Amino acid sequence: MTSGPTHMRSVVAGIGSFLPARKVSNADLEKMVDTTDDWIVQRTGIRNRHIAGEGETTSVLATHAANAALADAGLTGNDIDLLIVATSTPDYTFPSTATQVQAAIGMLHGAAFDVQAVCSGFVFAMATADKFLMSGSHRRALVIGAETFSRLLDWNDRTTCVLFGDGAGAVVLEAREGAGTIKDRGMLTTHLRSDGRHREKLYVDGGPSTTGTVGHLRMSGRDVFRHAVSMVTDVMVDAFAATGTTAEDLDWFVPHQANRRIIDASAEKLGIAPGKIVVTVDQHGNTSAASIPLALCAAVKDGRIKAGDLVMIEAMGGGFTWGSALIRW
């Protein structure tokens, strides 16, 4: 077998996740805003979410998930030379949350930085890490999606506050030589898109350079819903075309967990069998960049996703941003 950058694959070597202890059910929310369990379940499929407590910042959640992923891979922080955190809820405006995690896990070399693509952040971070590993410049990446969206929410706005939750998930990616076929383990293809014309549909109404405040999440739910299915199915079709695979070849479909109706409609449009869909939105709500690694971790730990399985991840989020990655686990 020849060696060379074109045959390097980013193989998942470990996974971990972390959820804050505090669980908030729809019944709990009924006491806070004018909503009902029925409305939330019917419109979104969400039943529970976890909310970070005092001192549980994004970097704290991320560090727990990172340590779990490192333990799963049998590695320590210093075995990692690239650390990327996908988040839109950093501890501070700067430095990056990634550098906080880097210090916390005892990683004393390499590079750490944040990626901001809102709910698509984990897919963007995985694609970024994949490019670094494929180029041969780095050997092992820790890719983390971590969010404390509860701190961006307007808790008086029932149209948004019932939808989101907090959490973190992490994967270790390791550069290993493959044969260059879709039978290789690792990331097989990634497809990222964005269209900045859609800001008003999903945004935070504050920031350092505008209001000087953190701001609150604002969303036109119907507009987001209308775009979501076509955007995420487009990038999945791109992934199938790039690899010569079809929906039938997938073992698991692990979408961004925003809304059960978007997930089911996307799967149906592409002919992905319902039994292949990993769903955690019922228990986690929408945890933005954390949702995919949280769902992946749940499905790995309960034995559904196994080495060699073909797994599609995809997401769509504010910007708009959207993307997909096809991974041989």
Residues of the shown chain interacting with ligand ACO in the complex, contacts defined by CB under 6 A = 35, 39, 43-44, 118-119, 158-159, 162, 202, 219, 221-222, 224-225, 258-259, 262, 286, 288, 316-318
Would you call 227 a catalytic residue per the annotation?
no
Measured from the CB atom, the residue of 48 and 245 that comes closer to ligand ACO is: 48
Residue 316's contacts (CB-CB under 8 Å, 6 or more residues apart) are: 119, 120, 227, 228, 231, 232, 256, 258, 322
Residue 243's contacts (CB-CB under 8 Å, 6 or more residues apart) are: 182, 188, 189, 326
Q: Which of 161, 256, 284, 297 is catalytic?
A: 256
Least distance (Å) from ligand ACO to the CB of residue 271? Answer: 22
Measured from the CB atom, the residue of 11 and 232 that comes closer to ligand ACO is: 232
CB-based contact 148:187 (threshold 8 Å): no
Task: Name residue, tokens 């999945």.
Answer: 236
Would you call 256 a catalytic residue per the annotation?
yes
CB-based contact 224:284 (threshold 8 Å): no
Least distance (Å) from ligand ACO to the CB of residue 3? Answer: 40
Bond preceding residue 124 cis, omega within 30 of 0 = no
Least distance (Å) from ligand ACO to the CB of residue 296? Answer: 17
Measured from the CB atom, the residue of 36 and 76 that comes closer to ligand ACO is: 36
Least distance (Å) from ligand ACO to the CB of residue 100? Answer: 23
Q: How far is CA 328 from CA 12, 221, 259, 260, in A?
A: 9, 33, 26, 25
Angstrom distance (rounded) from CA 79 to CA 41: 43
Measured from the CB atom, the residue of 66 and 292 that comes closer to ligand ACO is: 292
Least distance (Å) from ligand ACO to the CB of residue 281? Answer: 9
Q: Which run of H or of E encompasses 25?
A: strand 23-25
Least distance (Å) from ligand ACO to the CB of residue 214? Answer: 16
Measured from the CB atom, the residue of 77 and 317 that comes closer to ligand ACO is: 317
Angstrom distance (rounded) from CA 314 to CA 326: 9
Q: What is the DSSP string of 279-322?
A: --HHHH-B-GGGHHHHHHHHHHHTTSS-TT-EEEEEEEETTTEE
Angstrom distance (rounded) from CA 6 to CA 95: 34
CB-based contact 298:173 (threshold 8 Å): no
Q: Which of 64, 119, 284, 297 is catalytic?
A: 119
Residue number of the CB atom closest to ligand ACO: 221
Measured from the CB atom, the residue of 153 and 242 that comes closer to ligand ACO is: 153
Would you call 286 a catalytic residue per the annotation?
yes
Angstrom distance (rounded) from CA 46 to CA 17: 19
Catalytic residue ranges: 119, 256, 286
